[in-house]
Amino acid sequence: MARISIKDLVKIFGGYIAVDRISLSIRDGEFVIIVGPSGCGKTTTLNMISGLETPDAGEIIIGDMVVNDLEPGERGLGMVFQDLALFPHMTVFENIAFGLRVKKFPESEIVARVTSAAATVHIETLLNKMPRQCSGGESQRVALARTIVTNPSVFLMDEPLSSLDAKLRVDMRTELKSLHKRLGATFVYVTHDQAEAMTMADRIVVMSRGRIEQVGTPLEIYNRPSTRFVAGFFGTPTMNFIEGTVEANGNARLFRADGLHHPLSTAVPAALAGRKVVLGVRSEHVLIADGAELRGITQLTEPLGDATLVHFDDGRGHDLVAKVGPATGIQPGSAMCFRFASDYCHLFDTADGTRIY
């Protein structure tokens, strides 16, 4: 069973706490993506699972066994790194076969396994090429095949797509996702790219400064971010944030910030009245409509093709972004009316950023 469980894992580098007591359970066959900004401890966490780093405290369990004291090679894991490190003087076939040759597999089995792994990532025609004759995307697949061939029940991947251009990265996302389905193995994947995490993961683990901020499915993370950090990390453009206060008037709930006031969902608890909060609203939930209660002046527009971003200010120091249809006639400098979709307004604590509503 390729379940992985980590408990209260800690890693300290010379007094700096890189990983700060994180706990996580990964199910057999799950595709889990650890995401967060540079330096938040993703690689360190993955390296402790693989055995390349020794934890200062905590437990790592793979299947039913505590593996803290096992060497990387004894943990039954396959690793794919950002740095592909293909052997330049060996053909693609020999690169893929390398791990099997080390383990002295018979030639017939090597040929069968390499052929099958190559077919899995669609590089059957590259087997006689040298690595320098392969494109970035092809090399990436060779690196994957080299891991697939050893038949691990767990794949650990650290930014394996980071050396690829934008288009190829997007193509490889689809391929990795279907590869995961076909292999049925457990994938633990590290990236700083929120879009990669959203599109591929069964569950996302969001890290910040050595800690886990939230664990959830992509839609849970996007729709109900548990902290302001998570809310701001996911989604392009970044969520709009405005500091203000909650007010309650009978059944009505209101958000007020100097000069701007806006209805909130009636489900917002009355107990929050008077509380200082940060209102978060995504650009797709900022609605530009004639007759809406709030007024703004358009600063600039960014056509994306399928949508247009409208950057505007409300004349009271709030710079906001709305995502509107591609055919909008809104021009920079023009006045407009806007409101927020009340059911999609998130409220965070001003001090610690935790979700309040």
Applying CB under 5 A, the residues found at the interface with Mg ion are: 43
Per-residue CA distances from 115 to 131, 253, 308 (Å): 17, 64, 47
> Assign residue 300 a region: left if phi > 0, alpha if psi is -120 to 50, beta otherwise?
beta
With CB under 5 to 8 Å by kind, the binding choice for 303 among Mg ion, ligand ATP, none is none
- Residue 38 in contact with ligand ATP, rule: CB under 6 A: yes
Give Cα 194 distance to the centre of its chain.
Answer: 4
Which residue's CB is nearer to ligand ATP, number 37 or number 76? 37
Looking at 6, 43, 214, 233, which residue binds ligand ATP (CB under 6 A)? 43
Taking CB under 6 A as the binding criterion, the range among 39-47, 213-221, 281-289, 314-322 that sits at the site for ligand ATP is 39-47
Taking CB under 6 A as the binding criterion, the range among 38-46, 195-203, 245-253, 341-349 that sits at the site for ligand ATP is 38-46
CB atoms near residue 334 (< 10 Å): 13
Is the bond preceding 237 in cis, omega lying within 30 degrees of 0? yes
Backbone angles phi, psi at 68, to 5 degrees: -45, -40
Give me the least distance between CB of 100 and Mg ion, in Å please. 29
Q: How would you list the strands of the sheet with 16-26, edge to edge?
A: 16-26, 4-13, 57-62, 65-66
Which residue's CB is nearer to Mg ion, number 195 or number 292? 195
Looking at 1, 25, 39, 224, which residue binds ligand ATP (CB under 6 A)? 39
Which residue's CB is nearer to ligand ATP, number 118 or number 206? 206
Which residue's CB is nearer to ligand ATP, number 43 or number 214? 43
Which residue's CB is nearer to ligand ATP, number 28 or number 193? 193
Looking at 22, 32, 35, 40, which residue binds ligand ATP (CB under 6 A)? 40
Give me the least distance between CB of 41 and ligand ATP, in Å please. 4
Cα separation of 243 and 311, whole Å?
18
- Residue 280 in contact with ligand ATP, rule: CB under 6 A: no
Task: Check if the beta carbon of residue 59 is closer than 8 Å to that of residue 69.
Answer: no
- Residue 13 in contact with ligand ATP, rule: CB under 6 A: yes
Give me the least distance between CB of 40 and ligand ATP, in Å please. 4
With CB under 5 to 8 Å by kind, the binding choice for 18 among Mg ion, ligand ATP, none is ligand ATP
Cα separation of 207 and 45, whole Å?
10
Where do contacts with ligand ATP occur on this chain (CB under 6 A)?
13, 18, 36, 38-44, 192
